Amino acid sequence: MSSPLTPGIAAGRLPAEEITSNFDDLHAPLDHHEAAVAADRCYFCYDAPCVTACPTEIDIPLFIRQIATGQPEAAAKTIFDQNIFGGMCARVCPTEELCEEACVREMAEGRPVEIGRLQRHATDSLMARQGHPYVRAAETGKRVAVVGAGPAGLSCAHRLAMKGHAVTVYDARERAGGLNEYGIAAYKSTEDFAAREVEWLLGIGGITIETGRALGEDLSLDTLRDEFDAVFLGVGLAAVNALDAEGADKAGVDDAVSFIAELRQTSDLATLPVGRNVVVIGGGMTAIDAAVQSKLLGAENVTLAYRRGRDRMGASKYEQDLASSKGVRIIDRVMPVAVHGNGSAVEIEMEYTEEGPDGLSGTGERLRLPADQVFRAIGQTLVPYEGVELDGRKIAVTGAGRTSVPGVWAGGDCTPGEDLTVVAVAEGRDAAEDIHAALMAK
């Protein structure tokens, strides 16, 4: 039933079985034969460009050779040595812009080796086994606090636990996993994979997770510094940018991050309300995920509006094409100026833009679109923490994540750099190595 405040938003726009089918795994896993055939296409390059393109520097030719010789679990160990979230990264990493774009096969034939799917084949094989592939070193007696149970925080925690340190991870949410749990499109991470991956990671031991604990609320950085030998901040970007348009406070206007989080935590997607006419403002992955999932839930018309040209969008061309294939209309060079409606959104008014010497500006030409639901996906910002120096809008770091506060490291989306899961994993891992070196030097 529709809400009286938002008459255009309703649940059950499609039969439940159709919605379930719409959210099936985007890419089916490779079977053993398919993996062998895919692996056979690799040239096993010396000084392989795909390795250089991988933020976690996985030895890609080695793990593909291990798959080709019938050793998928050994291949997984090669992956996990560098990236403990190799399973999720195989599902969500923009391989088309990283390792696969650098692949020699891509440059020669326009069709790269399917590195992402091969990585998933390997990691799924090992994760299906009983037990954890890593053993902790002897206890060091050192205690480390990790704030944020996302990819950066848990990557850091796992590496520290492996070194023999005792780690306590704090997270503001009810479930661990960060964006892997709350911010990834449901068709990319099916069958509760994010939660299962966290449980598997914790199998190393030495890691305690306390959920519902937020820095700046019931957690103090000074207290953590007093109680622990080191602190790692993997807090992400918790604040969502506001929509600078008249009527942005009307019912039916919400942030895309909350929509995706609610979708990921809903057990029956047929009960999740969605608009008939949905407009998503933004050009990054969050915008694409919100737009595509709105369409899969049964929205009749979904438009993604971006203020610059499509070549400037944060989402890759692959993701843009995916959205188009699902029926999402992408309009570029437009910016919202007003949301119209009597109490709730009915229509959105946008102005065409142009870029000149002074930057982006409106042309004066406008258009209107029906919109009973508007999602803003225009970026997230850091919630500042007293005493921690910033670099622009993020935590300033030097080296492997050292902040301006002695004994405090940081990594992931809360620090400068690309906001990618694979980058966050690498930064958490590298910070853990630096923390370990600092603690043992004492």
CB atoms within 10 A of CB 356: 7
Q: Report the distance separating Cα 237 and Cα 177, nearest Å.
A: 14
- For residue 251, the number of C-alpha atoms closer than 13 Å in the C-beta half-sphere is 12
Query: What are the structural domains, with CATH classification, of the chain?
Result: 32-127 (1.10.1060.10), 143-238+382-441 (3.50.50.60), 240-376 (3.50.50.60)
Buried b (16+ CB within 10 A) or exposed e, 75-108: bbbbbbbbbbbbbbbbbbbbbbebbbbbbebbee
Burial (0-12, 13-18, 19+ Cβ within 10 Å), 207: buried
CB atoms within 10 A of CB 131: 9
CA distances 182 to 24, 176, 301, 412, Å, are 18, 9, 25, 16
Residue whose token pair is 């954890």: 132
Paired tokens of 324: 């188009």
Are 170 and 147 spatial neighbours (Cβ–Cβ below 8 Å)?
Answer: yes
Q: Report the distance separating Cα 366 and Cα 351, nearest Å.
A: 4
Q: Spell out, as residue ranges, where the chain has pLDDT lower than 70.
A: 1-5
Question: Residues 6 or more apart from 34 whose CB is under 8 A from it?
Answer: none
What is the reported pLDDT for 1? 37
Burial (0-12, 13-18, 19+ Cβ within 10 Å), 434: middle
Helix (H) or strand (E) holding 105: helix 104-109
Q: Report the distance separating Cα 247 and Cα 347, nearest Å.
A: 10
Q: Report the distance separating Cα 157 and Cα 409, nearest Å.
A: 12
Question: Residues 6 or more apart from 418 whose CB is under 8 A from it?
Answer: 55
Beta bridge partners of 352: 334
What is the reported pLDDT for 4? 47
What is the reported pLDDT for 40? 97
| Nearest CA-CA partner of 244 in 360, 354, 390 | 360
Find the angle CA(351)-CA(353)-CA(357) to the nearest 5 degrees.
145
Paired tokens of 26: 């985007």
Residue whose token pair is 């998933």: 120
What is the reported pLDDT for 333? 98
Are 321 and 313 spatial neighbours (Cβ–Cβ below 8 Å)?
Answer: no
What is the reported pLDDT for 2? 42
Paired tokens of 130: 């009983």
Burial (0-12, 13-18, 19+ Cβ within 10 Å), 26: middle
CA distances 35 to 72, 119, 124, 163, Å, are 9, 10, 12, 33
What is the reported pLDDT for 5? 52
Burial (0-12, 13-18, 19+ Cβ within 10 Å), 323: buried
What's the whole-model pTM score? 0.94
